[in-house]
Amino acid sequence: MYDIIALGELLIDFTPLGMTAAGRPYFEQNPGGAPANVAACLARLGKKASFIGKVGDDSFGKYLDGVLKGYGVDTTGLIFDPNGNTTLAFIHLSEQGERSFSFYRRPGADTLLTIQDIDLSRIERSRVFHFGSLSMTDNPSRMATLMAAEHARKKGIPLSFDPNLRLPLWSSPVKARDMMIVGLQLASIVKVSEEELEFITGIQDYEEGTRFIYETYGVPLIFVTLGERGCFYRIRTETGISRGYSVQSIDTTGAGDAFLGAVLLKWLDKGVEINQLSANDVAHFCDFANAVGAIVTTKMGGMSSLPDLEEIESFISRTSD
Ligand code: ATP
């Protein structure tokens, strides 16, 4: 039995480290991919995590497999495909610290995942199925993602969904929004950024935007991540804000994935169905998850910045003094 099975992209993030003496930027190779980050986060925090996806049959793919195994993630469902390269994402930071991405993914091996590649019985042996929107940008991985997610839903496995907005990866913004909505219709737990909430609903206000998602798509548990301000949450009709932690943030890559991993950990530990959670439970999850997200922003890289439980506990006790 797995606590979580995550399906989607596993890729290399090239994180900018600075300038050479000759004034040329240089980048560090970091493991990344939102669903893989969530699986790694849970494994780091002691849960049984498994990953389904595709990388190229190349040295980047082998490196990523090794990294996930190093975190304790089961990679039986990770396939090396000789017909595609492992996707590379170069991250650029503006002077204001805003991130933008250049993706090298034509075709990225992650988009070549087919339904035949997936052992559906492993999904049935998981307490939660996690997926994102980026495995739905292209076929065959779009069909594979949807069929796996629908299978989980049919078997009564709760679904967690992250509608990541990376517009250059989609054929059009309309397609991106349509696929995000399909994901929302299947999911019970959703994490969105402010920008994603507005993109999906056309509503800026968190209260109204999340109400729309709850009432229209039936998602009972929704988190809106607010960077240094923490997060907004909705559990059915109840909502709240959980304030963030003040840290010296240097790179926000993967903070949202770590936040979601931390929420899932707390929910799995609670051991109740989503419809039995109270607003108070969710507020506690958020406080813990804000700490995990904040810690990740204090280091370069996403997956490589994931803290263990000891580091989180020491961070929380230091900051609540
Ligand atoms: P991603 O781009 O990885 O999907 P996201 O936009 O969903 O991320 P963020 O809002 O950047 O996520 O961060 C997730 C969480 O991490 C926040 O809700 C907050 O708890 C924490 N966090 C992010 N940035 C900071 C910061 N500068 N200071 C303190 N905490 C932060």
Q: Is the CB of 254 under 6 A from ligand 1?
A: yes
CA distance 57 to 295: 33
Residue 255 Cα to ligand 1 middle (Å)? 5
Instruction: State the ipTM, two decimals.
Output: 0.97
CB-based contact 176:184 (threshold 8 Å): no
Task: Please identify, by atom number, the ligand 1 atom nearest to the C-alpha of residue 296.
Answer: 16
Q: Report CA 198 to chain centroid distance, whole Å.
A: 19
Mean pLDDT by 10 residues, the chain (321 residues): 98 92 93 98 98 97 98 98 96 76 89 97 98 98 98 98 94 97 98 98 97 98 98 98 95 95 98 97 98 95 95 93 63
Closest by CA position to 261, among listed 160, 186, 188: 160
What are the tens digits of pLDDT across the range 75-127?
A: 999 999 999 999 999 988 777 667 788 998 878 999 999 999 999 999 999 99
Q: Is the CB of 188 under 6 A from ligand 1?
A: no
> Which contacts qualify for 140-146: CB closer than 8 Å, 24 or more apart?
140/111, 140/112, 140/113, 140/114, 140/115, 141/54, 141/110, 141/111, 141/112, 141/113, 141/114, 142/179, 143/114, 143/115, 144/7, 144/113, 144/114, 144/115, 144/117, 144/118, 145/7, 145/8, 145/113, 146/182
Shortest-distance Cα residue to atom 1 of ligand 1: 256
pLDDT for residue 97: 63
Determine which helix (DSSP H) or strand (DSSP E) holds 221, and give its type and residue range: strand 221-225
pLDDT for residue 221: 98
Determine which helix (DSSP H) or strand (DSSP E) holds 224, and give its type and residue range: strand 221-225
Q: Is the CB of 257 under 6 A from ligand 1?
A: yes
Shortest-distance Cα residue to atom 25 of ligand 1: 228
| CB-side neighbour CA atoms (13 Å) of 138 | 13
pLDDT for residue 277: 98
Shortest-distance Cα residue to atom 15 of ligand 1: 293
CA distance 318 to 321: 6
Q: Is the CB of 247 under 6 A from ligand 1?
A: yes
CA distance 122 to 5: 8
Residue 297 Cα to ligand 1 middle (Å)? 7
Sequence spans of domains, the chain: 2-319
pLDDT for residue 300: 87
Task: Please identify, by atom number, the ligand 1 atom nearest to the C-alpha of residue 231.
Answer: 18
Q: Is the CB of 232 under 6 A from ligand 1?
A: no
Q: Report CA 22 to chain centroid distance, whole Å.
A: 36
DSSP states of 20-81: -TTS-EEEEEEEE-HHHHHHHHHHHTT--EEEEEEEESSHHHHHHHHHHHHHT-EEEEEEEE
Q: What is 2-319's CATH number?
A: 3.40.1190.20
